[in-house]
Amino acid sequence: MSLNAADMTKALIAFDTTSRGSNLALIDFAQGLIEQAGGRCRRSYDATGAKANLFATFGPDGDGGIVLSGHTDVVPVDGQDWSGDPFDAVIRDGKLFGRGACDMKGFLGVALSLLPQIAAANLKRPLHLALSYDEEVGCVGVTGLLDDLKQQNIKPALAIIGEPTLMKIVGAHKGGAKLVTHCCGREGHSSAPEKGANAVMMAGEFVALLDSVWDELRADPDARFDPPHSTVQANVIGGGTAVNILAKDADVTWEYRCLPDRDPQRILARVAQRATDEILPKYRARAAEAAFQTRLHAQYPGLKMDADSPAVLLARELTGANQVEAVAYGTEAGHFQAYGIPAVICGPGSIEQAHRPDEFVALSELMACEKFLRKVIAKASA
């Protein structure tokens, strides 16, 4: 099958790869195309076997290859007001609309559309494609892919992660984590609140504390980022059973996004210490079992700026960019860097469109990405 970039992107969007489900149908589709073009494929799976990473190689075996990397999963469409079917992509006014159009099936669509060119190239060094699962829930899948490469002693020279950057060169991003803090209280009648510990009230105070910690982080900025400081915030909260019952349990789901040159453990330690010192004494005076229990659900490292890394230098050479940017959102690039593979981010579309209803990527962006990746193929052939 040979499709142009837009049609290949539409074909990928047609697979509902929302993170809560499987991505195997898309992986099967991509692997079939890659193997037809002569690529050599490896898979690594999650614990359930319902999700897989795909790592494909063209050209010679050995070290020094270039990785083109992207995630296959997308965020949910639940509750969003789409003008059409999010998984039946359409083109209007020079834009391709569909869930994942920019984040990031556009990049994968361009890469897969170039399989005939990759197959025909006289590659002097390996050219790899990496398709991962569960990036949208904390960059979970790529760690298994990288572990597999390490076990197989596969050592790429660099990785290009095709997250939407409007084809600008991004060399740094924040690290982050998803955490859930369980507030443990004691049930009782709401007419006597001081004879129990209301976990929902504990949760409210904990949320306020997170906002206060965020204020502290503003004093340590890095002007390359927007916002220029690390951030902490709660995004989901739930608990309690009835209006006249003191809540025994409540959960606060929160995140930090930490500047890549800062230690995120200091944020976690600060939150824990302040919660213990400032909130718990009041509730433990009423119920000795009152407590905060925090679980780390997902974590990804930041990408530290290295203007002289081979990934950044190659991207600048091929695009002619004079500037290397930094972004607040997270990607899998930090994991590649942490595994010793220099990484850079450059892909079609705008992050402003990601996760929104009527997500789109401009066809001009797909064309610019295709031009860039053709240069990558030529570079691997030189």
* Active-site position among 103, 135, 136, 255: 135
On whether the CB atoms of residues 43 and 152 are closer than 8 A, the answer is no
Q: What tens digit of pLDDT does each residue of 35-77 get?
A: 999 999 999 999 999 999 999 999 999 899 999 999 999 999 9
Strand-pairing partners, residue 249, are 184
Give the torsion sign (CA, 122, 163, 259, 279).
negative
Alpha-carbon gap, residue 162 to 105, rounded angstroms:
9
Task: Look up 205 and say whether it is catalytic.
Answer: no
Please give the C-alpha separations between residue 161 and each of 158, 191, 214, 279, in angstroms, as whole numbers: 10, 56, 29, 42
Strand-pairing partners, residue 254, are 179, 234
Alpha-carbon gap, residue 139 to 142, rounded angstroms:
6
Q: What tens digit of pLDDT does each residue of 303-352 get?
A: 999 999 999 999 999 999 999 999 999 999 999 999 999 999 999 999 99
Task: Look up 73 and say whether it is catalytic.
Answer: yes
Band (pLDDT 50/70/90 cuts) for residue 2 is confident
- The token duo for 55 is 């790592």
- The token duo for 235 is 């995004």
* Active-site position among 73, 325, 365, 370: 73
Beta strands 40-45 and 170-173 are: unpaired
What per-residue confidence (pLDDT) applies to 277? 98
The amino acid present at 268, given as its one-letter code, is: L
Strand-pairing partners, residue 177, are 256, 299
Domains of the chain: 5-172+302-381 (3.40.630.10), 175-300 (3.30.70.360)
pTM: 0.92
Band (pLDDT 50/70/90 cuts) for residue 1 is low
